[in-house]
């Protein structure tokens, strides 16, 4: 990837570096973009939030006054409840069972309730955002996409003295319409029985300003 970047952007400075360590001089950068980076830091540094916080600290230090850090990544659901999955086809169910055993931080706990799978909403999100991977399965299944909730991300930036000027989370439409709605139904259990619940958001975008 570094060689590709050098060919595509001649004259640009390309560095290969551990992002959890200081990379730029303090007060030297206008904008830092972390696109699908922070869940990699979390996952490949032992699923440790400290590595994420160290990275954010170095980014904040590197920003000039008025500089911004833009983070686009996965998102942990705000609701810490359980959901019930009904699979519409055998391959999707088989992929879930495989995922529950292979997931990076540890085996996912679930149980069969009649024809539904009861599982934590956060774990359902991790499955839904990964089960489409085949070629890269052994890598993607080891990564935890939902590091913090959106509120949690905002709090992390505020702790660094950054002003949160934008934050949102959303579900990519192509995931929902092309795959999720065809493969799995998601519900919650109420006193009146099961009712549909929204699919978890797949992506978040947050901007902090110094």
Sorted by where each starts, the structural domains of the chain and their CATH numbers stand as 2-75+144-171 (3.40.50.150), 82-142+172-199 (no CATH)
Angle, alpha carbons 136-50-133 (nearest 5°) = 10
The CA distance from 19 to 66, in Å, is: 22
Residues of the chain with pLDDT under 70: none
* Longest pairwise C-alpha distance within the chain: 64
Q: Tell me, what's the pLDDT at 88?
A: 96
Give the relative orientation of helices 150-159 and 49-62 as an angle to the nearest 10 degrees: 50
Question: Which among 79, 76, 72, 77 is positioned nearest to 166, based on CA atoms?
Answer: 72
Q: How is residue 128 annotated by DSSP?
A: H
The CA distance from 15 to 39, in Å, is: 20
In three-state secondary structure terms, 208 is strand
Identify the bridge partners of residue 116 per DSSP, sorted by sequence position.
Answer: 113
Exposed, middle or buried: residue 98 (CB in 10 Å: 0-12, 13-18, 19+)? Answer: middle
pTM, 2 dp: 0.93
Q: Tell me, what's the pLDDT at 1?
A: 87
């Amino acid at each position: 990837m570094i060689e590709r970047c050098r060919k595509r952007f001649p004259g640009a400075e390309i560095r290969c570096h551990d992002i959890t360590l200081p990379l730029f001089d303090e007060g030297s950068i206008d904008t830092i973009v972390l696109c699908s980076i922070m869940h990699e830091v979390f996952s490949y540094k032992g699923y440790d939030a400290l590595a994420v916080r160290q990275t954010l600290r170095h980014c904040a230090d590197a920003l000039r006054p008025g500089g911004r850090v833009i983070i686009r990544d996965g998102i942990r659901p705000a609701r810490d409840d359980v959901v019930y999955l009904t699979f519409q086809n055998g391959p999707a169910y088989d992929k879930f069972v495989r995922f529950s055993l292979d997931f990076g931080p540890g085996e996912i706990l679930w149980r069969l309730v009649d024809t539904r799978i009861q599982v934590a909403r956060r774990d359902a999100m991790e499955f839904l955002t990964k089960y489409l991977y085949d070629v890269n399965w052994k890598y993607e299944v080891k990564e935890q996409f939902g590091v913090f909730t959106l509120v949690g991300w905002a709090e992390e930036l505020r702790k660094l003295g950054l002003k949160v000027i934008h934050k949102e989370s959303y579900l990519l439409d192509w995931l929902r319409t092309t795959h999720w709605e065809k493969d799995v139904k998601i519900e919650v259990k109420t006193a009146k029985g099961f009712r549909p619940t929204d699919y978890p958001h797949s992506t978040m975008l947050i901007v902090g300003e110094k």
